[in-house]
Amino acid sequence: MIELYGWSDALQETFHDYAAEGLKPARVTMQQRGRYRLATDDGDLIAGVAGRLSNTNGDYPVAGDWVAASLRPEEDAATIHAVLPRSSAFVRKASGTGREAQVVAANADFALLTASLNADLSLRRLERYLATARESRATPLIVLTKADLCDDVAARVAEVEAIALGAAVHAVSAMSGLGLEALEAAVGPRRTAVLLGSSGAGKSTLVNALAGEALMATQGIIAEGARGRHTTTHRELVRLPGGALLLDTPGMRELGLWDAEEGVAATFTDIEELALNCRFTNCGHGSEPGCAVRAALEGGTLDAARWESYSKLQRELAHEVRKGDWVARQAQKKVYIGRHKAYRALVKDRDKD
C-alpha cells in the first residue's frame, strides 16, 4: 500500500536501522492538533508520537513526512518513533513570532502555487511563493484557478509567465474542467504536490475537482468579486484517481520567509544578474554611479514594481540577521533609505511623462 504513496527502493535503503528495531515505514496523510493519520501496509492508522520524539528538539511530523512507527492494526493505532530525512520541506516563520520556524509540508516533488484569476491574482504574492518553493527544493508549478471567470486568460497567463522564470503556468477551472487533466499529468502517479496559496485561491475546490468527489470543505465567495475565506483547518495528503498525491494546506494569510536567500535569488535571477554589472560590488542600487539596476529601472527594462518586490523580500531576509546587531542595522538602514529615495524619484519622473 505505501508504494502508492511514493515509497521507493531509495527510501527503503535508509530504513534498515529502523527495521532492525521492529519499526515499519508509514506516511503521514493527515496532521491535526497533535494527532496523525498514517498510510501503512496495514491500512490507515491513527497515531501519536513516542515520548522520545516529543522530548527532543527535533521536528515533529508534518503531513507528507515518512516516519518509522510501531503499528497496532488491531487497535487501528500506531506510535511514531522517528521522522525520516526530508527530500523537501516548506519552512516559514510562524505567524506572530520572532525567530521560530515552522515546517508546513514535507517531501513534496512539486509545489502548486495557486492564485485566482477572479480577484486574487497578485504577481508580487506569486514571487513570494516562488521563492519559498524554490528554497524548499520542490519544483514550482503556477496554477491560475477560476479561469472560467476571466475574460482574457491568455493575457493574464502571459503576465505571470513574465515573472515565473521557467516555472510552468497552468490555467484551470474546477467548474468546467479546463486544464485539470494536464495539471495532474504534470505531477504524475506516486508523486506529491503541495498546494500553496492565499485564502480564496480555490485550493479545496481544486482538490475536489481533481479527486472527482467532495474531499475538502469549501467556502463560497462572500460577495461577487471578493476573496473567499479559507476553510481547510488541517493538512491532508489526498491520493487522486490517477495516482498523483496532493497535499492541501490551510490558507496562509502571512507567509513569512525563513532562510530563503537561495529561493529569492532563483526567483529574481534577472535582478541578480543585473547587479553583477554594477560598477561597485557593494552597490546599494540607489544613487551610486554606474549602477546597472538603476539604469535598467530608468530605461524601462526592469519593472519598478518587481524591483520593489525584490527589495521587500531582501529586507525580510536581512531583518533576522540584523536583530541585536546595532551596527549592521544602521548600515542596512542607510542602504534601504537610498533605495527608497531612488524608487520614489523614479515613480515621480514616470508620473510626469
Indicate whether 78 and 93 sit together in one domain. Answer: no
Indicate whether 131 and 241 sit together in one domain. Answer: yes
Indicate whether 193 and 297 sit together in one domain. Answer: no
What's the CA gap between 207 and 294, in Å, rounded? 43
Indicate whether 103 and 136 sit together in one domain. Answer: yes
Indicate whether 118 and 23 sit together in one domain. Answer: no
Residues found in the chain: 353
Distances (CA, A) of 40 to 12, 16, 107, 114: 14, 17, 17, 30
What's the CA gap between 225 and 6, in Å, rounded? 39
What's the CA gap between 311 and 269, in Å, rounded? 13
Asked whether residue 261 is assigned to any structural domain, the reply reads: no
The range of the structural domain enclosing residue 305 comes to 268-352
pLDDT of residue 215: 58
Mean pLDDT of 216-235: 43
What's the CA gap between 39 and 11, in Å, rounded? 15
Mean pLDDT of 271-293: 89
- Name the amino acid, one letter, at 309: S
> Tens of pLDDT along 136-152?
899 999 999 999 999 99
Instruction: Evaluate if residue 93 carries a pLDDT over 80.
Output: no
pLDDT band at 258 (very low <50, low <70, confident <90, very high): low
What's the CA gap between 198 and 298, in Å, rounded? 33
Task: Find the CATH number of the domain harbouring 297.
Answer: 1.10.40
Indicate whether 96 and 240 sit together in one domain. Answer: yes
Asked whether residue 257 is assigned to any structural domain, the reply reads: no
Indicate whether 187 and 242 sit together in one domain. Answer: yes
Cβ-based neighbours of 109, under 8 Å, separated by 6 or more = 87, 88, 138, 139, 187, 191, 192, 193
Indicate whether 188 and 76 sit together in one domain. Answer: no
**Of 55 and 11, which is predicted with more confidence?**
11
Q: What is the mean pLDDT of the chain?
A: 81
Asked whether residue 226 is assigned to any structural domain, the reply reads: yes
Mean pLDDT of 220-248: 63
> pTM for the full model?
0.74
Mean pLDDT of 72-80: 97
Indicate whether 57 and 185 sit together in one domain. Answer: no
pLDDT of residue 316: 79
Mean pLDDT of 274-303: 90
Indicate whether 112 and 162 sit together in one domain. Answer: yes
Asked whether residue 255 is assigned to any structural domain, the reply reads: no
Beta partners for 256? 93
Task: Find the CATH number of the domain harbouring 99.
Answer: 3.40.50.300
> Tens of pLDDT along 310-351?
888 888 777 655 554 545 545 555 554 555 555 455 556 655
Q: Residue 263: enclosing H or E segment and its boundaries?
A: helix 261-267
8 Å CB contact between 175 and 116: no
Instruction: Evaluate if residue 183 carries a pLDDT over 80.
Output: yes
8 Å CB contact between 162 and 122: no
Asked whether residue 304 is assigned to any structural domain, the reply reads: yes
Asked whether residue 39 is assigned to any structural domain, the reply reads: yes
8 Å CB contact between 339 and 311: yes
8 Å CB contact between 184 and 210: yes
Nearest to 76 by CA among 44, 110, 112, 104: 44
Beta partners for 69? 24, 80
pLDDT of residue 225: 39
Asked whether residue 262 is assigned to any structural domain, the reply reads: no
**CB-CB neighbours of 176 under 10 Å:** 11
Indicate whether 72 and 196 sit together in one domain. Answer: no
Mean pLDDT of 85-97: 75
**CB-CB neighbours of 57 under 10 Å:** 4
**How many domains, the chain?**
3
Least confident of 52-56, 119-123, 301-305, 339-343: 339-343
- Domain boundary at 19, 51, 83, which? 83
Mean pLDDT of 44-71: 84
What's the CA gap between 28 and 313, in Å, rounded? 32
Instruction: Evaluate if residue 129 carries a pLDDT over 80.
Output: yes
**Of 78 and 215, which is predicted with more confidence?**
78
Least confident of 50-54, 174-178, 226-230, 255-259: 226-230
Indicate whether 54 and 160 sit together in one domain. Answer: no
8 Å CB contact between 31 and 249: no
Mean pLDDT of 48-77: 85
Mean pLDDT of 289-303: 92
Asked whether residue 40 is assigned to any structural domain, the reply reads: yes
Instruction: Evaluate if residue 100 carries a pLDDT over 80.
Output: no
Mean pLDDT of 74-81: 96
pLDDT of residue 25: 98
pLDDT of residue 284: 85
pLDDT of residue 250: 62
